[in-house]
Structure 1
């Protein structure tokens, strides 16, 4: 009698189940490698680039405001407009362990339809710097260039 070698369906399913359990345990053990400060910096940098791209794509002005630990976006025809409409699709909540501040203090960032940066409010001049600080006292910064670019410092 000729016997074909191979795996049965039950053996394959058991193997997949064991691998799934092993991978989930490994993923839980990798959790300590999470760095909220780097995550917050990367998310903030991505948000700035995304808001600038949306302003250029829609030929609208987009304003970003920092309130506590959350970035909120709003749009209008121009950066000098008195009325902005909220765009919740571009809001960002930073990780709980991270606090953010912007210099000049109290400023909002507005990207024009050409992707240029206009600083609204706040005291001071120059290119704004966004500083993120974690609960361990470490800091990382982003400098937003007037041309719309973003640099890690």
Structure 2
């Protein structure tokens, strides 16, 4: 209570009666950008996760594919900088049960490959989407994503 009285006593005459002008407050927010990430599938059990902000599609085999293959023992990856068209063979996967070719679900340029798979092909079994991705493609035709299967449509292809 005393501090309020002290402030009033020390104030300039008339300042208590003057209305205080409100300063406009400026709120600064970090730059927010909206990114749309779309995931689509092929009937051959490849998938691509497209980020429209970067134009990159991350290609991987589906969880269903890795479980059907069994323990993966070898992975052949595409070449960095390679131009690919939708449906081109970009690699292969060998397991204790079988071998299977990998086809690109989209067209573009191979921007990055997951070299960790060369020393640890079992990453495809442990984490096919997160750690077991195959390559990243700078997509030349993002509209191709619309021609691929949604997750529900993909699951319908083998859920009989």
When normalised by structure 2's length, the TM-score is 0.31
Q: Which has the higher helix share?
A: 1
Q: Which has the higher contact order (CA 8 A, sep 6+)?
A: 2
